[in-house]
Each structure stands twice: as structure tokens, then as C-alpha cells.
Amino acid sequence: MTDRLIERLRRLDACAVSDAMDRLGLEGVALGLQPLTADRRISGRATTVRLVPAEEGVPSARHLGTAAVEASGPDNVIVVDQGGRTNVSGWGGILSLAAVQRCVQGVIVDGACRDVDESRELGLPIFARNAVPLTARGRVVEQDWNVPVQLCGIEVAPDSYVIADGSGVVFLPAAHAEEIIAAAEAIWEREQAMAAQVKNGVPVSEVMGARYETMLKEHA
């Protein structure tokens, strides 16, 4: 059953959640990742994977990411800590196919991915630093999965919430998710009201006046 917070998160976007975290003095935005395969917003709970260069890892009989795919479902986003490495792929098309079969929301990689065209055809959103054709095999291995990881300097626990869209990727620590989402809902409603005013002909300088500038410092 989808948890209530995921349902609420799905009605928001990355900017509203980022604003809410600003308001609460929390850091959650993972900088430097782009949507490479789909223009769809994704959200859910993180299934984490930590990759390391093959020289530093233990050789494994299974390919990276496979355990995370098999443990994930419609409420999960697979989150791959590749340490920001951009010269080798940390995710590929066969993994994407298996993820789609399990109705996984999407994949976020702090590093590169490949088989971008396949993932695009599958409609699986992947957020990563870049695409590169070079295989992971012999270059990068999974050190662990379902463990705390770091993406672009942001700590991500296996139970963290995440939302990602065209504006970027935001991680919400589970312990603060409820208050972040509540603050984001208030911000979202406020912005909807502002948009309605602009549509009704109120000058944007008035709609985005002094109150907009200080809005994140106010209490919801």
C-alpha cells in the first residue's frame, strides 16, 4: 500500500519541496543531475546502491543494481551513488527493462548512465550527470545496496523520500518528511493563488512584491 506521505508528495514538485527545505533550514537538493530519458516527475522512497571502482571492490557474480531492482516496486526510486564518476556507466538498459517490469518510479545516478535510447523507449525516467557508452563491467562494481549513501554531497538513507522533475532532484530525510511536505503544501497553495492572480490581470510586480521575497521566512 502506498504510504500517505508518498501520495501527498506526488501532488507537489521539486521546487515547492526545495522551498520548504529552505524554510526549515534543511539541505536536500542534489546539484548537477539532469533528466536524460523522460520528462516525467517521479517521487517515492529510495532504494540505495553504492558503487565503487572495480579495483576497490569485491568481484561479484551478479551485475550492479540487480538486487535493488528485485527489491523495488511502484513506490521506489533507485538511487545510485557512483561517487560522481562520469567516465563509465553506472546504469544500463537491461536494468531499466527489469525496473520497468517492477513498475519502479525511476532511477537517479550520481554519475553516468548508458543505453539512454532504450530507457527513453521504455519511458523510465533516469536522472544522472551524463550519458556515456562505456560499460560498468570491469570498471565499477556494487559495494553494497540498501545502505546510507551520498548523492552530490547529500546524505540519502534507504528510507529517504525523493522527488525529481525538470528542475532537479530533492531528497527528504524520513524523519523530517512530514513537516517538509506540510510546508511544501502551504507554499504550493500560496503559489497557485499567486498564479491565479496573474491570470486575472494583477500586475506581476504586485503579485511578486515584498511578501514574495520574505515568504520562506514566514511560518506556514
Ligand X SMILES: O=C([O-])CC(=O)C(=O)O
Q: Which stretch binds Mg ion (CB under 5 A): 59-67, 68-76, 111-119, 145-153?
A: 111-119
Q: Which of 68, 79, 136, 181 binds ligand X (CB under 6 A)?
A: 136
Residue 80 contacts residue 107 (beta carbons within 8 Å): yes
Please work out the total of residues on this chain that contact ligand X, with binding judged by CB under 6 A. 10
Within 10 A of 173 (CB to CB), how many other CB atoms are there?
18
Q: Which of 28, 35, 44, 93 binds ligand X (CB under 6 A)?
A: 93
- Choice between 133 and 209, CB closer to ligand X: 133
- Choice between 135 and 167, CB closer to ligand X: 135
Hey, what amino acid is at 5?
L
Is residue 95 involved in binding ligand X (CB under 6 A)? yes
Hey, what amino acid is at 170?
V
CA angle 54, 173, 122 (to 5 degrees): 60
The pairing of strands 161-165 and 42-53 is antiparallel
Q: Which stretch binds Mg ion (CB under 5 A): 36-44, 51-59, 107-115, 158-166?
A: 107-115
Shortest distance (Å) from residue 89 CB to Mg ion = 8
Q: Which stretch binds ligand X (CB under 6 A): 1-9, 70-78, 130-138, 158-166?
A: 130-138
| Binds 28: which of Mg ion, ligand X, none (CB < 5-8 Å by kind) | none
Q: Which residue is nearest to Mg ion (CB)?
A: 92
The pairing of strands 168-172 and 149-151 is unpaired
Angle at which helices 177-199 and 14-24 cross, to 10°? 120
Is residue 115 involved in binding Mg ion (CB under 5 A)? yes
Q: What share of the chain is helix, strand, coil (3-state, %, to 5)?
A: 35, 30, 35
Helix, strand or coil for residue 77? Answer: strand
Is residue 85 involved in binding ligand X (CB under 6 A)? no
Binding pattern for the stretch 40-59 against Mg ion, x by CB under 5 A and - elsewhere: --------------------
Q: Find the distance separating the first CA and the last CA of the chain, reported in whole Å.
A: 29
Whole-number Cα distances in Å, 60 to 17, 138, 142? 38, 11, 8
190 vs 183: CA distance, rounded Å? 11
Is residue 93 involved in binding Mg ion (CB under 5 A)? yes
- Choice between 92 and 168, CB closer to Mg ion: 92
- Choice between 16 and 49, CB closer to Mg ion: 49
Hey, what amino acid is at 57?
G
Residues lying near ligand X in the complex (CB under 6 A) are found at 89, 92-95, 114-115, 135-137
Residues lying near Mg ion in the complex (CB under 5 A) are found at 92-93, 115
